């Protein structure tokens, strides 16, 4: 049984059909990357899976159980945790306070403050700093750290590297590689850097205008085909 299955998912923004019947499955321990141009529907898909955007039809199954009527908070408690695009930290709170908020609301488990701080780049030196004053890379570290505090079994990270410096991206992926190898976390990432996406993931999906245009094993996909799928070139 797949850890997460998405079946024929449809999600709209008003009259606009943003996700048009998307289906895929993720196995436990796998990394799936979702790529595609701006407006392809990646964020809407993530938000629908997380339960913060309504679905019109279709189904989300976690460990074989449909969770369509489960609230977003309850999904987090079940281990389905999203790092939203734009990180969404509480600017006036310290890094530590941002992390502790997630501990109160998430699943209980091994991921406690010290372990999270050790697992992500640069967190140790900023735990007592206000989140509002951090760099993009630091904010992404805190956002992923906050998600880990909820002890996810499946972690969705929207726009992993968007807006970050090359050094910050390198450090972040080093940490994610480490998490992938050492831990029982299944990842789905949205990544606009195609090389990063296919190197880090086992499977890749390319979305175009709300549908899956191309999917396959990352190691066997041809980059030329992915670029063609990005732009809908036949
Ligand atoms: P991006 O990388 O720009 O976030 P994306 O692949 O994540 O792109 P979505 O943000 O899911 O795509 O957008 C899918 C479609 O829904 C686009 O046509 C977009 O313009 C539209 N859309 C997204 N958010 C809203 C909103 N809040 N209100 C109305 N339309 C929206």
- Report all structural domains of the chain as residue ranges with CATH numbers, in order of start: 2-231 (3.40.50.300)
The CB-side HSE value for 47 (13 A sphere, CA atoms) comes to 16
Residue 204: phi and psi, rounded to 5, are -130, 140
Are 4 and 154 in contact by the 8 Å Cβ rule? The answer is yes
- CB-CB neighbours of 106 under 10 Å: 21
Top mutation candidate among 40, 46, 84, 158 for ligand 1, by most atoms within 8 Å of CB = 40
The reported pLDDT for the residue numbered 22 is: 98
Ligand 1 lined by 39 (C-beta under 6 Å): yes
Using CA atoms, how far apart are residues 15 and 228, in angstroms rounded to an integer? Answer: 28
* Cα 184 to middle of ligand 1, angstroms: 31
User: Measuring from atom 3 of ligand 1, which residue has the nearest CA?
Assistant: 38
pLDDT in tens, 89-141: 999 999 999 999 888 888 888 888 888 988 887 899 999 999 999 989 999 99
ipTM of the complex: 0.93
Q: Which residues contact 85 (CB under 8 A, 6 or more apart)?
A: 43, 158, 159, 162, 190
Are 146 and 99 in contact by the 8 Å Cβ rule? The answer is yes
Ligand 1 lined by 212 (C-beta under 6 Å): no
Q: Alpha helices, DSSP H only, in 1-88? A: 42-50, 72-77
The reported pLDDT for the residue numbered 234 is: 63
Q: What is the pLDDT along the chain (234 residues), one digit of tens a residue?
A: 899 999 999 999 998 999 999 999 999 999 999 999 999 999 999 999 999 999 999 999 999 999 999 999 999 999 999 998 877 899 999 999 999 988 888 888 888 888 898 888 789 999 999 999 998 999 999 999 999 999 999 999 999 999 899 999 999 999 899 888 877 789 999 999 999 999 999 999 999 999 999 999 999 999 889 888 888 876
The reported pLDDT for the residue numbered 93 is: 94
Are 99 and 115 in contact by the 8 Å Cβ rule? The answer is no
Using CA atoms, how far apart are residues 60 and 79, in angstroms rounded to an integer? Answer: 14
Q: Which atom of ligand 1 is nearest to the CA of 192?
A: 2
* Cα 39 to middle of ligand 1, angstroms: 5
């Amino acid at each position: 049984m797949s850890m997460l299955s998405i079946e024929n998912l449809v999600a709209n923004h008003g009259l606009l059909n943003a996700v048009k019947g998307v289906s895929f499955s993720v196995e436990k321990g796998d990394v799936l990357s979702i790529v595609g141009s701006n407006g392809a529907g990646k964020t809407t898909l993530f938000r629908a899976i997380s339960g913060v955007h309504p679905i019109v039809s279709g189904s989300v199954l976690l460990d074989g159980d449909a969770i369509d009527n489960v609230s977003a908070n309850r999904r987090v408690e079940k281990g389905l945790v999203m790092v939203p695009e734009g990180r969404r930290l509480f600017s006036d709170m310290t890094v530590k306070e941002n992390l502790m908020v997630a501990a109160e609301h998430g699943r209980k488990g091994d991921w406690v403050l010290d372990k999270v701080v050790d697992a992500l780049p640069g967190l140790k030196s900023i735990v007592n700093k206000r989140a509002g004053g951090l760099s993009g890379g630091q904010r992404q570290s805190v956002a992923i750290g906050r998600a880990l505090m909820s002890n996810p079994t499946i972690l969705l990270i929207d726009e992993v590297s968007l807006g970050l410096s090359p050094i910050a991206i390198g450090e972040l992926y080093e940490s994610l590689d480490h998490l992938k190898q050492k831990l029982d976390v299944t990842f789905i990432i949205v990544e606009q850097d195609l090389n990063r996406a296919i190197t880090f993931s086992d499977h890749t999906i390319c979305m175009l205008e709300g549908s899956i245009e191309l999917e396959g094993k990352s190691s066997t996909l041809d980059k030329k085909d992915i670029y063609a799928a990005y732009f809908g070139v036949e």
